[in-house]
Amino acid sequence: PKGGEICIEDLDQHAKTSYPLCMRFLHEALRSNHHLRHFGRLQYGLFLKGIGVSLQDAMRFWRDEFTKIMDVDKFEKSHAYNVRYNYGQEGRRTNYTPYSCMKIICTSVGPGEHHGCPFKHSDVQILANKLKAYGIANNYVTEISELVKGSHYQVACGKYFEATHGKLSNGIQHPNQYFEESQVALGN
Ligand code: SF4
């Protein structure tokens, strides 16, 4: 899809069917905590820009969620700047690029943070339980766990794509590429 075709009302659905796991985890953490820490906001915010969410919609998306736990003033003072910043509307006005898998895999993730690549940064058993809870078939969960133990994170991500789409991916290099391939596979 080209810019502007992605509607923020559909993000819960996209998270289930078209997001790579790194973005699905961030989306779900945001929905349940109504908050994400700095690097999570960056990783997810730039991904959303990359899939075609406009600045106006991104602002509405973050505001609606964050104002469940803070008032609008606090959001405007502490967070609106960062949303505009991701879109190159503040600071050095750089048009920031969504992060690639390599960048995400190489990042460090502290306690209470949800960014990073789940295949790299999650405990293998916790990841396996999560995949089962998402309805991923046992044979795929086993295969993914083995790939993760061998540090083949992007290959594991490709397996997750295969398990959720019934099709092979072209090789996952970038979360936005994953999303686009998924949309094509789903006929959107
Ligand atoms: Fe995200 Fe890339 Fe990790 Fe897949 S391999 S979960 S797209 S960072």
Tokens at 161, concatenated = 């794509």
State residue 96's pLDDT score.
87
CA of 174 to the centre of ligand 1 (A): 7
Predicted pLDDT at 1: 43
CB proximity list for 60: less than 8 A, separation 6 or greater: 8
Distance 155 CA to ligand 1 centre (A): 9
* Ligand 1 center from residue 28 Cα (angstroms): 16
Mean pLDDT, residues 50-63 taken together: 96
Instruction: Give me the pLDDT at residue 110, please.
Output: 95
Distance 72 CA to ligand 1 centre (A): 33
Instruction: Supply the pLDDT for residue 14.
Output: 97
pLDDT digits (tens, 9 = 90+) for 82-101: 999 999 988 777 778 999 99
Compute, in angstroms, the gap from residue 78 CA to the centroid of ligand 1.
29
Report which protein residue has its CA nearest ligand 1's atom 3. 117
Mean pLDDT of all residues in 14-22: 98
Instruction: Let me know: does 117 contact 22? Beta carbons within 8 Å.
Output: yes
Q: Looking at residues 130-147, what average pLDDT do you find?
A: 98
Which ligand 1 atom is at minimum distance from the Cα of 117? 3
Q: What Cα–Cα distance (Å) separates residue 120 from each residue in 11, 115, 127?
A: 24, 11, 10
The pLDDT, as a whole number, for residue 3 is 44
Supply the mean pLDDT for the chain.
94
| Residue to mutate (ligand 1; options 22, 155, 162; most atoms within 8 A of CB) | 22
CA-closest residue to ligand 1 atom 1: 22
